[in-house]
């Protein structure tokens, strides 16, 4: 579901709302009740939901890429953390 940003011209209240694309736009300001509450043009926002989505795109952090690099490098000496790459 998209996240829309709204602002009230009367009181200056601004907030993001999670709405379906088929939902009607909000018109009443939640802070002051004015009918001038309007959508703003802003960068697109979205949320990833469901299993398989991680905030960093890697389940185990940096452990998976480090193990693949050390096996591909053939024991280049940085596996023990002696270099600046860790």
Residue 50 domain-assigned?
Answer: no
Cα gap 35→69, rounded to integer Å: 58
Residue 7 domain-assigned?
Answer: yes
CATH number at residue 20: 2.20.28
Residue 37 domain-assigned?
Answer: yes
Whether residue 65 is predicted with pLDDT greater than 60 in this model: the reply is: no
Residue 11 domain-assigned?
Answer: yes
Residue 83 domain-assigned?
Answer: no
Phi, psi of 64 (to 5 degrees): -70, -50
**29-46 per-position pLDDT tens digit:** 999 999 999 999 877 666
Question: How high is the pLDDT of residue 72?
Answer: 47
Cα gap 38→54, rounded to integer Å: 33
Residue 67 domain-assigned?
Answer: no
Q: Write out the residue range of the structural domain in which residue 4 sits.
A: 1-45
């Amino acid at each position: 579901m998209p996240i829309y940003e709204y602002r009230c011209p009367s009181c200056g209240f601004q907030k993001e709302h999670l709405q379906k694309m088929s939902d009607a736009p909000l018109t009443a300001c939640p802070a002051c009740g004015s009918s001038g509450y309007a959508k703003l043009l802003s960068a697109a926002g979205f949320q990833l939901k469901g299993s398989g989505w991680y905030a960093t795109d890697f389940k185990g952090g940096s452990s998976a890429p480090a193990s693949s690099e050390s096996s591909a490098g053939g024991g280049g000496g940085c596996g023990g953390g002696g270099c600046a790459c860790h």
